[in-house]
Amino acid sequence: MYNREAALVFNSGYHANCGILPAIANKNDIIIADKLVHASIIDGLTLGSAKFERFRHCDYNHLEKLLEKHARNYEHIFIVTESIFSMDGDCADIPKLIALKKKYNAFLYVDEAHAVGVRGAQGLGLVEEYNCIHDCDFIVGTFGKAISSVGAFVICDEIFKPFLINHSRTFIYTTALPPINIAWTRFIMQQLPYFQKQRKNLQLLAQEFSKLLQVPATSHIIPYIIGENDKAISIAEELQTQGFFVLPIRYPTVAKHTARLRFSLHANISHNELRTIATFLSKKA
Ligand SMILES: Cc1ncc(COP(=O)(O)O)c(C=O)c1O
């Protein structure tokens, strides 16, 4: 589907991020990751022997400073980002990251967990939307979100595939997913190109909801900041009793006093439902 040389399936996104990063980068290398990358990436960083640093969230000037500082001191540099960030729903500037990767001769690793299925003409993610599938060295996608299955994949050059099969511990030292899961995933992935109408609708719904809540949004994940943990929990519970499955995201998953409701929209929600939620929240403010 990606028209690239190789793909490898992992048991989950957690297995993929925890297994690939320690395998591809060693003690002579450095990994520079966005400050807000997912816990599975952080665990991958800490499990490996490469040095790692974090750049301020989506601050590519800061990233460039780190690249300048480290470019000559390490054999390989890896830039790691999510494409749609899981907690804030904002998007990485992938073309900018590609320019930096080229300038500093680095590898680019993009976690597309929240973009696969919902972005790009064929649903292949933000890398497809930005027309840069061939410029990213590692594209990780998960099957547990829009694909409604379980598992994950990495898209890479052929040279990395046998290497990952042999060196990625979370690939080799665990039993593979059952064939029935793989068959379901395959079935859904084959349908992806035909969900264009739903993808378009999802974007329109996200734009509308963003206006209603007065929260800027560039994806279907829309955070509504409440502040304190207890309040976020009780408002989420009230919405759940009204039939809206929204979850509170609390400290320590996010910074203190930024507990939030994390709306993750799907394409079949109605305009009326969005308005009901917005009216309810305006009364709570
Ligand atoms: C950005 C990101 N990457 C990876 C994962 C892990 O994927 P999985 O649930 O398949 O382990 C998640 C969340 O689950 C995520 O939000």
Report pLDDT digits (tens) over 134-179: 999 999 999 999 999 999 999 999 999 999 999 999 999 999 999 9
Task: Find the 73 Cα to ligand 1 centroid distance in Å.
Answer: 32
Cα 207 to averaged position of ligand 1 atoms, centre (Å): 24
- Which pair of structure tokens corresponds to residue 5? 């040389």
> What Cα–Cα distance (Å) separates residue 178 from each residue in 155, 172, 218, 260?
21, 15, 36, 36
Q: Is 62 helix (H, G, I), strand (E, B) or coil?
A: helix
Mean local confidence (pLDDT), 259-278? 96
241 — pLDDT class (breaks 50, 70, 90): very high
Mean pLDDT of the 85-101 span: 96
Mean pLDDT, rounded, for 115-122: 98
Strand 138-142, strand 152-156: pairing: antiparallel
Is pLDDT of 285 > 70? no
The fold of the 6-177 domain, in CATH, is: Aspartate Aminotransferase; domain 2 (3.40.640)
Cβ of 142 less than 6 Å from ligand 1: yes
Find all residues with CB under 8 Å of 109, minimum gap 6, and list them. 20, 21, 78, 79, 80, 81, 136, 137, 138, 140
Could you give the residue range(s) of every CATH 3.40.640.10 domain in the chain? 6-177
Q: Is the pLDDT of residue 253 over 90?
A: no
Residue 247: pLDDT over 80:
yes
Question: What confidence score (pLDDT) does residue 141 get?
Answer: 98
CATH 3.90.1150.10 segments of the chain: 195-284
- The mean predicted confidence, pLDDT, of the chain is 97
Residue 71 pLDDT grade (very low, low, confident, very high; cuts 50, 70, 90): confident
In the three-class reduction of DSSP (H, G, I as helix; E, B as strand; rest coil), residue 273 is classed as helix
Arithmetic mean of pLDDT, 89-101: 97
Q: What is the pLDDT of residue 29?
A: 98
Matching CATH number, 195-284, of 3.30.70.20, 3.90.1150.10, 3.40.50.2000, 3.60.10.10: 3.90.1150.10
**Ligand 1 center from residue 232 Cα (angstroms):** 23
Query: What percent of the chain stands above pLDDT 90?
Result: 97
> What is the spatial distance between Cα 156 and Cα 174, in angstroms, rounded to a whole number?
21
Ligand 1 neighbour 14 (Cβ under 6 A): yes
The whole-model pTM stands at: 0.95
